[in-house]
Structures are given as C-alpha cells and as structure tokens.
C-alpha cells in the first residue's frame, strides 16, 4: 500500500496565498467586477473610489484590458466602473471623474475608450475631464490631482 503524503498545515496555507501583489489585488475583486473599501460615503461612492484605485494600481503594474492573463477581469472592472461613475456623476462628480479617467487609461481597445468618451461627453459633471481625454499624459496628470 502506497503511503500518502499529507502536507503540513503551514505549507497548505502558504500554497493558498496569492503569489504576487497583483494576484492579491485581483483576488479581492467582487463578483460585480468592482472593489470595495471601508470609509465614508455611500456603497456606490466607496466602490467607485476603491475600483479606480485598484485599476490605477494594476495600470502601474502594467496590466490593462489587453493583458493576456488578467485582461478579462480588468475589462469587467472597467465596464462596471463606467456604469457606476455615470450613476454617481451628479452627487460625486470628483470621484466619478477620477473613476472615468482611470478607466480610460486602463482601457486599451478603441471601442471601450470610445464608450468611456461618450459617457464623459454626455454628462456636464465631467466638463473638467473632457478636455484631457485623448491625451494619455494629460489624463494621468489630471487624475493625479483628483486622486482621493
């Protein structure tokens, strides 16, 4: 009879830990595609802020919607965030602009960027973001000013 090897509990726990900060961040993504955080504001505002921050962190790590392994998760987050930003635009314009600016930067496809640009064009609340769209460096600079 062959003996079965049983891993030590700490080895098993270690095997379940995310292997990188990016994987750890992605593992905290909600089924909706959004992230959440503790803090002030409504659930929508907290989720918009947390998701924008998470996407910005992913962008800084080199992950965009075009990433071969994690691109689908990023796309899901972008789609959910754009919808949420449009919903909170009138009550929390600054958070919504931050969210849309980050979503625009992390989106690499022309179609997705155009959808984000249409949302920005439709809402008067995004008037200060609108002139920057189309210029990645200008958007980056602007969202750095907005970052909560």
Specify the pLDDT at position 28.
95
Specify the pLDDT at position 55.
97
Using a cut of 0.85, tell me whether the model's pTM lies above it: no
The 10s digit of each residue's pLDDT in 64-113 is 999 999 999 999 999 999 999 999 999 999 999 999 999 999 999 999 99
Q: How far is the first Cα of the chain from the last one, in angstroms, to the nearest whole number?
A: 61
Cα–Cα distance for residue pair 112/22, rounded to 1 Å: 23
> By 3-state DSSP, what share of the chain in percent is helix, strand and coil, each rounded to 5?
65, 0, 35
Element (H, E) at 99: helix 93-106
């Amino acid at each position: 009879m062959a003996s079965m090897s049983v891993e030590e509990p700490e080895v098993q726990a270690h095997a379940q830990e995310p292997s990188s900060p990016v994987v750890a961040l992605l593992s905290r993504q909600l089924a909706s595609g959004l992230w959440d955080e503790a803090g002030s504001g409504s659930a929508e505002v907290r989720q918009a802020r947390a998701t924008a921050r998470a996407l910005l962190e992913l962008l800084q790590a080199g992950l965009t919607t075009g990433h071969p392994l994690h691109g689908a998760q990023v796309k899901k987050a972008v789609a959910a965030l754009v919808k949420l930003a449009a919903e909170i635009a009138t009550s929390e314009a600054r958070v919504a602009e931050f969210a849309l600016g980050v979503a625009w930067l992390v989106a690499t496809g022309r179609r997705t960027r155009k959808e984000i640009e249409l949302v920005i064009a439709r809402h008067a609340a995004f008037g200060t973001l609108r002139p920057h769209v189309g210029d990645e460096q200008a958007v980056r600079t602007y969202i750095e000013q907005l970052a909560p």
